[in-house]
Amino acid sequence: MTARVFQNARIVDPSRGIDETGTVIVKDGRVVAAGHDALNQGTPDGAETIDCTNLVIAPGLVDARVYIGEPGNEHRETIASASKAAAAGGVTSMVMMPDTSPVIDDVALVEFVLRTARETALVNVHPAAAISKNLAGNELTEFGLMREAGAAMFTDGRATIANSLVMRRALTYARDLGTIVAHETQDMHLAASGVMNEGLFASWLGLPGIPREAELIPLQRDLALAALTGGRYHAAKLSTAMAADTIGRAKNGADNVSAGVSINHLSLNENDIGEYRTFFRLSPPLRTEEIALRWSKPSKTGRLTSSFRRTIRRMLIPSDCPLQMPPTVLSGLKPCWRWR
Amino acid sequence: MSENQAHPLFPHRHLLGIRDLSPQEICQLLDRAEAAVPISRKPDKKMSTLRGRTQINLFYEASTRTQSSFELAGKRLGADVMNMSVASSSVKKGETLIDTAMTLNAMRPDILVIRHAAAGAAALLAQKVGCSVINAGDGAHEHPTQALLDALTIRRAKNAIAGLTVAVCGDILHSRVARSNIILLNALGARVRAVAPSTLLPAGIAQMGVEVHTNMADGLKDADVVMMLRLQRERMAGSFVPSVREYFRYFGLDGEKLKHARDDALVMHPGPMNRGVEIASDIADGPQSVIEAQVEMGVAVRMAVMEALVDPRRNGEGVAA
């Protein structure tokens, strides 16, 4: 195989702390040099040169929060089709959420996902297993057995565990097993039937709003339980500045807490919903412009340092129903390709 | 009716909300409606303005006055009117809104009147079908013909809308009528007040162009118009307000509270009323009440809207050919 030279690319490699314009040389399918000085040894003989002006070259991305239709909704999406979208977005590994049908709350389901991925997927697929059986928030699943079978971490997907005792035990058990509990926090009673950020914009549209406190209140509880148990806790999908501040304070001195934010919450805000663009209904909802702006700036305190990101995506976006009705889905795989 | 020629071409294909209308367009619709009022008072009410046109009423929520008002308005203009009863249709079998709309659209109607419990449903429909869409109420978003008929009722009683103080009272949080009225009344220069317990006010209400009051005495003080809103039954007890009794005590319109408004203040209600909840019976039936006039103006306004949307000068645009 001949060498290929990718020139004038923006090279981003967090493992070496590199973000610079330069060249990547690939020989026999392996990167042999990357950086502004990659051509110091000269261009390899017979190399194919590819101009990458305005493009980014980076190691394969890891998307730690991907919702996939299989099993249960294969007419919408399969593990194979989701992996194609991931590959198109530069994502080479994804952690798959357990809120499928049936729920990934059993060793057999973990094995099913791994087997299907092995046979059909273009990228690495790591199943996350449910914290509670059937995502009901009551009984713990078999953390140990599923971890052994290959579960990457534990999460109830888009569901929030309301029962504090269940959460405490999940964190305690996770600590003993050395695994991670990732949680999306939304107080179901406070959020009620809300479909977007509570505020003037929702009020004019006549849509029920979700206050920011709906995210904060269960998060504060979780952080207290993480401190109590020492379990490894990941706040999976933050959407508000107040929650980010709370995480920042909790991380101060604690190494068992991290947080993630989705590309959609960084690059979009509630104004993008405009006149009922149904497909921008997300969970948690898109918040205000100020929050999105603030988050898109690099953080001085390094608060949101986790490599976790969240993605929800469907190959078919069900935009043929009013905003108050559709499930909350939006691709995070392809947009992240363009986002810098 | 030759009225179409007397008015400038209405520039919109659909009526989805008051938000989309300029003050001039609002006034044009009110003038057209004014001209339509005498038609319903004649023994022979049949016009030929919409002869040959098809109007479909697609009501996903139960409605007596709005649906019958649209039906009568269409029939008086000579249109063929069909009511889609959702309760006995394929919607019951799980058909989606868009599938239903596309099916009806294939039957080539000229006007689709829709009421739906979800905000934005009318706008969604308008993107998908080839005919004019009239929003007859979408969730808590807008109910434009209601605001127009309210404005017509006020204008006929008070001669003008600019400068009036209008108190909108009750469940503003869930009310499409309130939103459409707040926009319309502001556009025509009225001062609008929102009067309700804070649990029934939407977030950001103070930035919606209203003075906010949480007690009726202040909210009704020297008001020219008192517009009551319906409190839905499921929102009465223990959720948004503790009890019907408490709500009526503090926010129900009775003779005592009405005294704070001007002596000649109009009392309005979009219906259906909950007597003894948001309004006392004697006030609803009293001399200041224009609730029946509102219903009458409703037919005139809907005739005006349909006539404006289906204007032959549009050369077939906005009309399924």
Specify the pLDDT at position A190.
Answer: 95
The two structure tokens encoding residue B115: 């009421």
Q: Which of A201, A205, A325 sits opposite B141 (nearest CB)?
A: A205
From the CB of residue A137, how many other CB atoms can be counted at a distance below 10 Å? 17
CA separation for the pair B206, A31 (Å, rounded)? 60
Specify the pLDDT at position A332.
Answer: 54
User: For residue A193, what is the nearest residue in chain B, using CA coordinates?
Assistant: B118
Mutation for testing the A interface, residue in B138, B232, B239 having most A CBs under 10 Å:
B138
ipTM score: 0.88
CB B235 within 8 A of CB B244: no
**What are the chain B neighbours of A200 within 8 Å (beta carbons)?**
203-204, 207-208
- Cβ of B143 under 8 Å from any chain A Cβ? no
Whether residues B96 and A321 touch (CB distance < 8 A) is answered with yes
Angle at the Cα of B29 (from B23 to B35), degrees rounded to 5?
135
**What are the chain A neighbours of B116 within 8 Å (beta carbons)?**
322
User: For residue A209, what is the nearest residue in chain B, using CA coordinates?
Assistant: B203
CA separation for the pair A303, A248 (Å, rounded)? 5
Specify the pLDDT at position A330.
Answer: 53
Pairing of strands A18-27, A4-13: antiparallel
- Cβ of B96 under 8 Å from any chain A Cβ? yes
Q: Which of A202, A206, A320 sits opposite B203 (nearest CB)?
A: A202
pLDDT digits (tens, 9 = 90+) for A270-286: 888 877 777 777 888 88
Segment holding A30, helix H or strand E: strand A30-35
How far A189 CA sits from the closest chain B CA (Å)? 12
For residue A77, the Cα-to-chain-centroid distance in whole angstroms is 18
Q: Which of B121, B142, B202 sits opposite A322 (nearest CB)?
A: B121
Whether residues B96 and A320 touch (CB distance < 8 A) is answered with yes
The two structure tokens encoding residue A245: 């501040």
Q: Which of B96, B124, B176 sits opposite A206 (nearest CB)?
A: B176
Question: Quick one: which of B199, B202, B251, B204 has its CA closest to B226?
Answer: B251
Q: Which of B140, B142, B203 sits opposite A200 (nearest CB)?
A: B203
The two structure tokens encoding residue A295: 């988050």
Q: Residue ranges of chain A with pLDDT lower than 50? A: 298-320, 326-329, 334-340
CB B71 within 8 A of CB B83: yes
Whether residues A206 and B179 touch (CB distance < 8 A) is answered with yes
Question: Length of chain B, please?
Answer: 321
How far A277 CA sits from the closest chain B CA (Å)? 9
How far B302 CA sits from the closest chain A CA (Å)? 23
- Cβ of B172 under 8 Å from any chain A Cβ? no
How far B318 CA sits from the closest chain A CA (Å)? 21
Specify the pLDDT at position A292.
Answer: 61
**How would you label B75-104 residue by residue, b for 16+ Cβ within 10 Å and e otherwise?**
bbbebebeebebeeeebeeeeebbebbbeb
**Helix (H/G/I), strand (E/B), else coil: B253:** strand
Question: Quick one: which of A331, A338, A335 has its CA closest to A280?
Answer: A331
**Helix (H/G/I), strand (E/B), else coil: B110:** coil
pLDDT tens per residue across all 321 residues of chain B: 445 667 899 999 999 999 999 999 999 999 999 999 999 999 999 999 999 999 999 998 888 889 999 999 999 999 999 998 776 666 666 677 888 888 889 999 999 999 998 899 999 899 889 999 999 999 999 999 999 999 999 999 999 999 999 999 999 999 999 999 999 999 999 999 999 999 999 999 999 999 999 999 999 999 999 999 999 877 776 688 988 899 999 999 999 999 999 999 999 999 999 999 999 999 999 999 999 999 999 999 999 999 999 988 875 544 443
- Cβ of B210 under 8 Å from any chain A Cβ? no
Mutation for testing the B interface, residue in A190, A195, A273, A275 having most B CBs under 10 Å:
A275
